[in-house]
Structure 1
Amino acid sequence: MNRPPRDDTIGIILKGYPRLSETFITNEIMLLEQLGLRLHIFALRNPGESKIHENVKKVRAKVTYIPDYFWRSFFAIIGSNLRLWLRQPGTYWTAFRFALLRSLRQKSSSTIKRFSQAAYLVERCLDSTPVAHFHAHFSHGPTTVAFFASWLTGIRYSFSAHAKDIYLQEPVFFRQKIHGAEFVVTCTEFNRAHIEKISSATTPIYRAYHGVDIRYFKPSFAHGFKNELPVILSVGRFVPKKGFPVLIKALKILRQKGFSYQAYFIGGGPEKEKLEALIARLDLNDNIQLLSKMCQKEVLEYYRQADLFALACEVQEDGDRDGIPNVLVEAMAMGLPVVSTNISGIPELIAHEENGLLVPEKDPEAMAGALIRLLTDAELANRLARAGRAWVERDFDNHKNIAKIGELLSRVLARKPLAQELSAGPRSAVAPENHAKAEQRTFTFSTEPVE
C-alpha cells in the first residue's frame, strides 16, 4: 500500500510515553515543535508513571497508544491485521512472512509482535493521522515497528539509536533496519563508529549529543564545599550497568580512611534491595541514602545542594552499557566536579584532568581515590567544575544539537539531499560518504531474514 503522504506530519514512534527516565526524548520533541515541525507520537506502551517531567505539558503533539499487551487487545490487533491483509494481500504477506520466519529462527515472538503493532498502526491510525515520515527512538522495538510500517506503506523512516538497543541487538536485523532508513542518529561518537562497523549500507549515520538546557541548569560556583559535611550525589536507575555497588564500596573506603560525607543516590529500580543490603552489610546506613526516582525539577534541587557528583558506569557481560549518561551532562552544567568511568562515550564528555576525573570501571579503589582528590583539593575541584560547565555550553547545548536533528528531518520532508556531516564543535564526526541519496532512495526488502 504505497499511500502518498498527505501531510507534513512526522510520526514519532516510542516504546513508551511519557517516561521519566527518557526526559531527553520529551525535550527533543518539545524543541522540534518549537522549530516548526509537526509531530504525532505513536507510543507502544503507556508507562502510567505517577510523576512526569514538567515539559510534557509543553508538548503539543497528540499521542496514540498502540496496543502492547495482546491479551488485552487481541481482537483489535487481529482485526486490523486481517483488514490490512485483505486490502493489500501481496505486501502484507511478504512482510508477515519475513517477520514470522525471523521469529521462528530467533525462537522469540518479538519480531512478529512488532509487525502486528505496525500493521495496527497502519490500518487503524494512518487514515485519521496521515504522516509523511516516521522517526523512531531506540533501534530495537520502536525501529522494528517503523521498519514494518514503512514496508507496508512506502513511508520513509529514520531512527535514533542510544545505548542498550545498539549493543544487545542481533546485528543482521539491525543491519537491515539501518539499510532501510533515510538516516540514523546516535548520541555518541563511540556509538556512531560501532554502528558504521555493523552497517554495510550507505545510510548516513550522524552523531548528535543529547545535551541539556543550559538555561535551565545554572551553576552556582563556590570556592570550597557548600556543606560542612560534603554531599556526594549520584543519579541513575538502580540497574547493574550504573555500577552502584562499586560506588558504595568506594564510599566504604572513604569512611575507612576517615572521611565524613553524606551520599544520596536518586533512581529506583530492580537492584534497590540488593543495594540496600550491601549498604547495611558495609555499615553505611548513616552515610548513604537511596531515594526513589524524581522529576527533573526535584533532582535539580539535589544538584544545587551537592558538592560532588559520581557515577560508576560499567559494561555488562552481555554488552549492555550507557552511552553518555545525561545526568553527567546535567551535573557538569550545574557546576559540579564529576567522577566517572572511562567506558563507551563518557570520555567524549569528560576529559580526564581537564573537566572531570575518569577511572577504570569496576574499580572501587580507583573511584575512592578520585573522590578523595576532590575532597582534599578545593582548587582542583573548582577548576574542573568551571571547565565542565564551559565544555557543556560548547558541545552539549540541547537547543543547538536538536536543531541539527530538526534540519535532517526537514530535509527529508522536502526530499533534499542530506549533509555529509552535522555542523558541530571540534569533536564532530565525519559521517559516511554518498549521503545525497534521499531523492533516489527506494525501499526493497528481502522476504527472508539474512543469515
Structure 2
Amino acid sequence: MRVATILKGYPRLSETFIAQEIRGLEQRGIAQRIVSLRHPTDPYEHDVHREIDAERYYLPEYLKDDPPRVSRARRNVERLPGFEVAKAAFTRDFARDPTANRQRRFGQAAVLAAEMPEDIGWMHCHFLHTPASVVHYASLMTGIGWSFSAHAKDIWTTPPQELTDKLASAAWGVTCTRTNLDYLQSLTGDPDKIELVYHGLDFSRFPKEPRPERSEDSPFTLITVGRAVEKKGFDDLLTALARLPDEARWRLVHIGGGALISSLKAQAERLRLSERIEFRGPQPRTAVLATLEEADLFVLPSRVTADGDRDGLPNVLLEAAAFALPMIATRVSAIPEFIEDGVSGRLVEQRDTEALAAAIATLMGDRNLRRHLGLAAFRRAHADFKAAPGIDRVAAMLRCSLAGDQPIRERCAASVG
C-alpha cells in the first residue's frame, strides 16, 4: 500500500525539507504518490527532487481549468457513503469562509477522492491550510485516514476554529518547532496526537568538517536566502546595511524569487547600495550551497506580519550552520530553538534595524568571534538537528497507519526505540 503525500505545490525550491523527507521515507520503504494542488512555477528543481521515485499527480489548480474532469469526479463521489458527511463539513466551513477558494478545495477533494488509486491506504499532507482542507474532505468521502505535517504560515494564518476541526479529524500529526507544538496542542482535546519532529538536515550532502577560514583579502560577503516576501524582513536588512560606515567593504548576495524583488531593488537604489548588492533570483540548491561556502556571514531578519504569518525554523539556517557560517537572525518563532544568542549566533529583535546594523558591524570586525559562532552552530546542528531521527519517526507512524494499527501512537512507540 502507498501513502498519498499531498502538498500545495510540487516541486518547490523553497521546500527542500519536504523533498528531503519524501526521499527519506522512500529509503525506509514507504511508497508514495505525490499529490499537488498546483503545478510547479519555479525555474529549477533540486537534485533531491530528481532522486525521488514517487509519481507526481496534479489536481486541477482551478476548477475552470478542466470542467469535464471536475464534473465527472463530482458524479462519482456523490455515490460514496461518506459524501454527505463531507458535504456537511464543507457547508459548515463555507458558512465561516464563503470564498471561491473554499469551493475550489471541495472540488479538488472530489477529484482526489474519485481518482484515488486502490493501493492508497493513507493520506499525509504538508501544511494545515489549503492542503489539509482538501485532504479532510477527501478523507470523509473515502474513509481513508489522514495525518499532517504542520510548518509555519499554515498554522499562524489559519483561524483557530478551523485548526481545531482539522486536528480533531486527523489521526495524528507532527510539527517542526516547539513554538508550533505548544500552540497546536492548546487547540485540541488530544494534545498527545501531535508530536515535535524537527526537519533537520541530511548531512551526507554537506562537508564533514567545518570549512577553513576565508581570506580577508576580498570584500566581506554577506548572504541571505529566501523568497522576497514580507515575513523575511529583507527591507530591514537593506536599511541596516545603509547604516554601516561608508568605508566598510562589504557585498550582499540575495538568493530567492518572490513578489517583493522589484521593491527591494528600488529600495537599494534609494539607499545607494545597488552596486554592493547582487540579487541572483531563484537558484538550484547546488548554487545556494556553493554561495554559502564562499560567504563570511549569513543574515536572516525574519519578522511576524500583520496577518500572523511568520517563519518556523528556516532550513537555510541549518544549511548555513553546516558550513560553520556565522549567523545573525531575529528572535522570531522557533529561531531561538536553534540559535542561542552569543553562543551559536547573534539574535536581535525583529524590525530593529539599529541593532541589526550593530550586530553586522561587530561580526565584520571580529574574525575570531565569527569563527567561534560558526563552529558552535556547526556542532549544534550536527548534534541535535540530523534529519534521520525525525524521518524515522514519521516512517514508523505511517507504517502503523497503513497497517491499520489502533491506537497508532501507542502501537508505534516501540518501533522507533
TM-score, normalisation: structure 2: 0.94
Q: Note if 1:222 corresponds to 2:212.
A: yes
1:266 aligns with 2:240: no
> CA offsets per residue over residues 154-201 of structure 1, 9 Å max, x none?
111000111000000011121111111111111100100011112233
Cα deviation for residue 343 of structure 1 reads 1.0
Equivalent residue in structure 1 for 2:116, among 119, 122, 125: 125
Aligned residue for 2:346?
357
Q: Aligned partners of 1:360 and 1:378: how far apart in 2? A: 24
- Name the CA distance, whole Å, in 2 between partners of 1:304 and 1:201: 44
User: For residue 391 of structure 2, what is the amino acid of its counterpart?
Assistant: I
Checking the alignment, whether the CA contact within 8 Å between 1:100 and 1:111 is kept in structure 2 is: no
Q: CA deviation at 1:345?
A: 0.2
Distance 2:326 2:88 in 1: 54
2:162 counterpart (153, 173, 177):
173
Query: What code does the residue aligned with 2:364 have?
Result: L
Counterpart for residue 137 of structure 1:
126
Partners of 2:256 and 2:195 in 1: CA distance: 30
What is the deviation of 1:263? Answer: 0.8
Q: String of CA shifts for 1:211-251, please: whole Å, max 9, x gaps.
A: 12212122543346555211011001000100001111111
Task: Tell me the alpha carbon deviations over residues 16-39 of structure 1, each in whole angstroms, 9 at most, x when there is no partner.
Answer: 111111111111101100011111
User: Any unmatched runs of 5+ in structure 1?
Assistant: 1-7, 420-434, 439-451
What is the match of residue 304 of structure 1? 293
Contact 1:265 1:289 (C-alpha < 8 Å) held by counterparts: yes
Structure 2: where are the runs of 5+ without partners?
413-417
- From the two aligned structures, give the one with the greater helix fraction: 2
| Alignment equivalent of 1:390, drawn from 379, 403, 416 | 379
Q: State the partner residue of 2:308.
A: 319
SS at match of 2:244: helix
Q: What does residue range 36-435 of structure 1 map to in structure 2 within 5 Å?
A: 36-85=29-78, 87-88=79-80, 91-127=82-118, 130-202=119-191, 204-218=193-207, 220-223=210-213, 225=215, 227-256=217-246, 258-416=247-405, 435=409
Rounded to whole Å, the distance in 2 between the matches of 1:227 and 1:110 is: 54
Deviates more, 1:381-390 or 1:145-154: 145-154
**What CA distance in whole angstroms lies between the structure 1 residues aligned with 2:385 and 2:410?**
27
Taking the aligned partners of 2:106 and 2:384, their CA distance within structure 1 comes to 38
Q: Is the 8 A contact 1:337 1:384 kept in 2?
A: yes
* Residue-by-residue CA offset, 1:76-116 (whole Å, 9 max, x unaligned): 1122111221x23x631232233134224322133332122
**Partners of 2:201 and 2:411 in 1: how far apart?**
32
Match of 2:125, SS state, is strand
| C-alpha distance in structure 2 between counterparts of 1:138 and 1:73, whole Å | 25
The corresponding residue for 1:21 is 14
**Cα offset for 1:414?**
3.1
Pick which of 15-24 and 339-348 moved more.
15-24
User: How far 1:118 sits from its partner (Å)?
Assistant: 1.4
Residue identity in the other structure for 2:52:
V
What is the RMSD computed on CA atoms of the aligned residues?
Answer: 1.8
Query: 1: CA distance between counterparts of 2:312 and 2:150?
Result: 10
- Aligned partner of residue 51 in structure 1, secondary structure: coil
Instruction: Output one character per residue of 1:352-390: Cα deviation in whole Å (capped at 9) or x when no partner.
Output: 111111000001111111111211111111111111011
- What amino acid maps onto 1:244 in structure 2? F
Aligned identity (percent) is 34
